[in-house]
Structure 1
Amino acid sequence: MRTLCSSTLVGEFFVIGFAALVAMKDPDLSTGTVWLVSGIAMVLCVALCGVITRPGGVALGWALQIALVASGVFVPTMFFLGAVFGALWWASVHYGRKIDEAKARFAAQRDESSPSGA
Structure 2
Amino acid sequence: MRTLCASTLIGEFFVIGFAGLVAMKDPGLSTGTVWTVSGVAMVLSILLCGMITRPGGVQLGWALQIALIASGVFVPTMFFMGAVFAALWWASVHYGRKIDEAKARFSAEGSQNSPSGV
Task: Please give the TM-score of this superposition, normalised by the length of structure 1.
Answer: 0.99
Equivalent position of 1:92 in the other structure? 92
Residue identity matched to 1:30: S
Report how many aligned residue pairs link the two structures: 118
- Give CA-to-partner distance per residue, 1:73-94, whole Å, 9 cap, x none: 0000000000000000000000
For residue 8 of structure 1, what is the aligned residue in structure 2? 8
State the partner residue of 1:34.
34
Q: Which residue of 2 aligns with 1:50?
A: 50
Q: CA deviation at 1:65?
A: 0.1
In 1, Cα distance between the equivalents of 2:36 and 2:16? 12
- C-alpha deviations, 1:45-88, integer Å up to 9, x for none? 00000010000000000000000000000000000000000000
Which runs of structure 2 are paired with 1:14-25 in the superposition (5 Å)? 14-25=14-25
Distance in 2 between the 1:86 and 1:6 partners?
13
Give, as a single letter, the amino acid of the residue that structure 1 aligns with 2:7: S
What is the DSSP-based 3-state SS (H/G/I as helix, E as strand, rest coil) of the residue aligned with 2:55? coil
Where do 4+ consecutive residues of structure 1 move more than 2 Å? none
- Give the TM-score taking structure 2 as reference length: 0.99
1:74 counterpart residue number:
74
**1:114 has 2:114 as partner:** yes
Question: 2: CA distance between counterparts of 1:65 and 1:116?
Answer: 47
| Percentage of matched positions with identical amino acids | 82
Deviations 1:15-70 (A, max 9, x none): 00000000000000000000000000000000000010000000000000000000
Give the distance between the partners of 1:70 and 1:106, measured in 2 at CA.
41
Amino acid corresponding to residue 69 of structure 2 in structure 1: V
Specify the code of the residue in structure 2 equivalent to 1:95: Y
* d(CA) in 2 for partners of 1:51, 1:21: 27
